């Protein structure tokens, strides 16, 4: 399944694009991840506020922000993740049980804006949760109760931390409009709630 997804997504690139011809396995997986395709990469960010935004954006119940100590991850020096991941994708083989963090050399606009970094394992047969436990990683979990979601959303918006900024383009603006419109067509604007007339 993962091999087919990788090949199909990679096949959508234009033959004339020099940039796409230079992109390798990790870069393709990062691009797939940020446009909604399922991958083995787990999104982390250097920004607490951006992590908070993604934690509750689509949550319906209590959620959490997880902080991971990067010094507890595997030593990536001397490892070519692109070649290792490419081999794992092509051969469907597993590798070691360490967790690694990396940013693709050819990043994309969304990843840069979101201050993103990926955490992943080179073992395609193990879950992230299992590897966290096995490797005794240093993890801090901050619980966020659902009743605070709306207040947090408006406060983050004051910091310009919203889908309009984090997802540049019409799709991000549409998500922003949806998230900041109430069920009664009310709008939160500069600290004031403005009610739009619905029954005309």
Kindly report the number of other CB atoms within 10 A of residue 129's CB atom: 8
Q: Determine what percent of the chain falls in helix, strand and coil, rounding each to the nearest 5.
A: 45, 20, 40
pLDDT of residue 95: 57
Q: How far apart are CA 101 and CA 75, in angstroms?
A: 9
Q: How far apart are CA 79 and CA 66, in angstroms?
A: 26
- 141 within some domain: yes
Higher pLDDT, 115 or 25: 115
Q: What is the pLDDT of residues 142-170, one digit of tens each?
A: 999 999 998 998 899 898 899 989 988 88
pLDDT of residue 100: 72
With a cut of 50, say whether residue 197 has pLDDT above it. Answer: no
Residue-number span of the structural domain to which 37 is assigned: 2-146
With a cut of 60, say whether residue 77 has pLDDT above it. Answer: no
Strands in the chain per DSSP E: 42-45, 63-68, 99-102, 116-121, 139-144, 186-189, 192-195
* Count of domains forming the chain: 1
Q: Round the average pLDDT of the chain to a whole number and report it.
A: 71
| DSSP summary character for residue 65 | E
Q: Which of 22-31, 87-96, 131-140 has the lowest mean pLDDT?
A: 87-96
pLDDT of residue 139: 75
- 115 within some domain: yes
Q: What is the pLDDT of residues 33-69, one digit of tens each?
A: 777 777 778 888 989 999 999 998 888 899 999 888 7
Q: What is the pLDDT of residues 177-189, one digit of tens each?
A: 877 665 444 444 4
- 161 within some domain: no
Q: What are phi and psi of 134, to 5 degrees?
A: -60, -40
Cβ atoms of residues 24 and 82 within 8 Å: yes
Strands in 50-115 per DSSP E: 63-68, 99-102
Q: How far apart are CA 180 and CA 153, in angstroms?
A: 8
- 195 within some domain: no
- 30 within some domain: yes
Higher pLDDT, 112 or 95: 112
Q: How far apart are CA 158 and CA 153, in angstroms?
A: 9
Strands in 29-95 per DSSP E: 42-45, 63-68
Which helix (H) or strand (E) segment is 53 a member of? helix 48-56
Helices 2-10, 25-34: inter-axial angle, 10-degree rounding? 90
């Amino acid at each position: 399944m993962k091999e087919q997804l990788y090949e199909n997504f990679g096949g959508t690139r234009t033959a004339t694009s020099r940039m796409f011809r230079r992109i390798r396995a990790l870069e393709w997986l990062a691009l797939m991840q940020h446009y909604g395709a399922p991958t083995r990469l787990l999104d982390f960010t250097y920004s607490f506020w951006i992590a908070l935004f993604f934690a509750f954006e689509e949550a319906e119940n209590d959620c959490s922000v997880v902080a991971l100590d990067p010094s507890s991850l595997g030593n990536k020096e001397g490892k070519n993740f692109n070649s290792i991941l490419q081999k794992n994708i092509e051969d469907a083989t597993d590798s070691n049980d360490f967790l690694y963090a990396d940013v693709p050399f050819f990043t994309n606009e969304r990843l840069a804006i979101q201050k993103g970094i990926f955490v992943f394992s080179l073992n395609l047969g193990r879950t992230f949760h299992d590897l966290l436990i096995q490797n005794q990683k240093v993890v801090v979990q901050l619980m966020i109760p659902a009743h605070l979601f709306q207040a947090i959303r408006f406060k983050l918006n004051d910091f310009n931390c919203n889908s309009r900024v984090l997802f540049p383009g019409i799709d991000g603006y549409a998500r922003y409009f949806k998230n900041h419109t109430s069920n009664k067509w009310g709008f939160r604007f500069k600290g004031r709630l403005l009610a739009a007339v619905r029954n005309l």
